[in-house]
Amino acid sequence: KFYQHATTEASQATLASVSPVFAVMKLDKEGNTTYFEKKKTELYQELGLQARDLRFQHLMSIATRNNRIIMRMEFLKAVITPEFLLILDYRNLNLEHWLFNELASQLAGEGQLVTYSLPFEFRAIEAILQYRISKLQGRLNTLQPQILETLEALVDPKLLSVDRSKLHILLQNGKSLSELETDLKVFKETILEILDEEELIEELCLSKWTDPQVFEESTSGIDHAEEMELLLENYYRQAEDLANEARELRVLIDDSESIVFINLDSHRNVMMRLNLQLTMGTFSLSLFGLIGVAFGMNLESSLEEDPRIFWLVTGIMFLGSGLIWRRLLSFLGRHLEPPLPPHVRLKKSQPTAGRVEIKNHLKAETFGLSRSTLTNQ
């Protein structure tokens, strides 16, 4: 037993020695900031949490544990209590400007639009959600002009070929747009899961269950759960607006791809038609060139003694080739033209008066149809 107890203590000491160390940034209600490093085991014991609560398995999540709010917004890992906010692993290049220049003033309540002071967790949640939305908005603002510029260059009908560099840029921007759409979808789903459950909204109001003054305010008419719901709905709508803009860009990309394919098909059809016309011309010349081949053989006849026969045979060759080529081109054009609309025929079983009225009516319709057909052609 003594050996097992010693082994257990040694294993615990070994796990404590290899446990990860968090670089923690602590901000209180007044915006005062302190920095320190603490092991994971010590941190979750002080906060009254479990080890699994600080693993941050998902890239985006909002959960409550033991009157604590645990948030993860991509690189941002935060633990919110009614008294302070902890930012874990804050040494990140993407977070420095926001952490050191904006977060403290937001937590202190500067620039608050409401007429009364909300609890601390409201300001912390709003600051983190605002940071995430601003990051997504910045990514969209970067992608939108690049995509529009690339599409404008690709859709130009004067181009006979597509610039591969533009297609490569469009492919990269399309991938970035897909990643942005995925992040927006995850953000909306995370907030929607909370909005669908009233108990989760109540759990986010930490001060309501710890501060008697806040509890009295909530019972006297200021419902903090409704304020939290409005706060989350606000950022859900902002994410929905960004998702709609990203969706419009996706539709533009799909439509532009269709236009590019139509332009390429049009140019390809022109080249195929030109190739077919040249093939017909070659066939016509070859057909009547047999006459010249026959006269070019080393055989004697009475025709080669006449000086006018050369011009006669040459004229017949060119004239016959031209007529055959013209005939083939007219045949090609006749089969490539769109079919005419079918004619309307009247039944003989109709009365005479009704037949005249219907005939006049159909004449008017046929006249309008022919005018519209000519206009479309």
Whether the CA torsion 243, 248, 253, 255 is positive or negative: it is: positive
- Residue where one domain finishes, among candidates 65, 83, 108: 108
Domain identity same for 81 and 150: no
Domain identity same for 175 and 50: no
Domain identity same for 241 and 131: yes
224 in Cβ contact with 214 (< 8 Å): yes
Domain identity same for 56 and 92: yes
What does the alpha-carbon distance between residue 367 and residue 363 come to, in Å, rounded to a whole number? 6
Tokens for 354, please give them. Answer: 């009704």
Q: Mean pLDDT of all residues in the chain?
A: 76
pLDDT band at 160 (very low <50, low <70, confident <90, very high): low
Domain identity same for 32 and 119: no
Q: Look at residue 159 and tell me whether its pLDDT is greater than 70.
A: no
Domain identity same for 264 and 283: no
What does the alpha-carbon distance between residue 261 and residue 149 come to, in Å, rounded to a whole number? 18
When pLDDT is averaged across residues 22-50 and rounded to a whole number, the result is 87
Say if pTM beats, i.e. exceeds, 0.85: no
38 in Cβ contact with 22 (< 8 Å): yes
Mutual angle of helices 224-295 and 309-336, in 10-degree steps? 160
Domain identity same for 86 and 184: no
pLDDT band at 336 (very low <50, low <70, confident <90, very high): low
C-alpha separations of 45 from 55, 66, 340 in Å: 14, 12, 84
The reply to whether 278 falls in a domain is yes
The reply to whether 346 falls in a domain is no
Domain identity same for 210 and 160: yes
When pLDDT is averaged across residues 203-222 and rounded to a whole number, the result is 70
Domain identity same for 142 and 245: yes
Number of domains in the chain: 3
Q: Which helix (H) or strand (E) holds 34?
A: strand 33-39
pLDDT of residue 343: 44
Domain that holds residue 322: 270-296+307-333
* Centroid of chain to Cα 243: 9
What does the alpha-carbon distance between residue 292 and residue 112 come to, in Å, rounded to a whole number? 97
pLDDT band at 221 (very low <50, low <70, confident <90, very high): low
Domain identity same for 237 and 151: yes
Q: What is the pLDDT of residues 71-107, one digit of tens each?
A: 998 888 899 998 899 998 888 757 777 888 788 888 8
Tokens for 328, please give them. Answer: 């083939």
